[in-house]
Amino acid sequence: IELTQSPGTLSLSPGERATLSCRASQSVSSNYLAWYQQKPGQAPRLLIYGASSRATGIPDRFSGSGSGTDFTLTISRLEPEDSAVYYCQQFGDSPRFTFGPGTKVDIK
């Protein structure tokens, strides 16, 4: 299963809403879809698992939704520290984990 993410880059202002898309080449169980945030020089950070469950300590301005082949990460009110690359990930039989190419979010 291949994952594509759009847009490649998103440039928004603080307080705006960001909508990031992740599309799978085949249907994916919602249980198996996760989202990560990666800031420059840092390790990825798990944001969302099971398509819509927030990981521990993740602010509620981050939300995930979707099913089948189309999934969305929404950041409801952007803050400057949300500047990062966001990756979606699906869990499968082989390979175990596949990541999308990422969406870069720039906060103007």
How far is residue 80's CA from residue 56's CA, in Å, rounded to a whole number? 21
Which member of 18, 24, 54, 100 binds another protein (CB under 8 A)? 100
Taking residues 76 to 95 in sequence order and writing x for each that binds another protein by CB under 8 A, - otherwise, the string is -----------x-x-x--xx
Q: Is 72 near another protein (CB under 8 A)?
A: no
Determine the Cα angle at 29 with ends 27 and 31, to 5°. 155
Distance, C-alpha 66 to centroid of its chain: 12
Q: Is 32 in the site for another protein (CB under 8 A)?
A: yes
Select 13 or 57, whichever has its Cβ closest to another protein.
Answer: 57
The set of residues, in sequence order, having a beta carbon less than 8 Å from that of 20 and lying 6+ positions away, is 5, 6, 10, 35, 72, 73, 74, 75, 86, 103, 105
Q: Which residues bind another protein (CB under 8 A)?
A: 31-32, 34, 36, 38, 42-46, 49-50, 53, 55-56, 87, 89, 91, 94-102
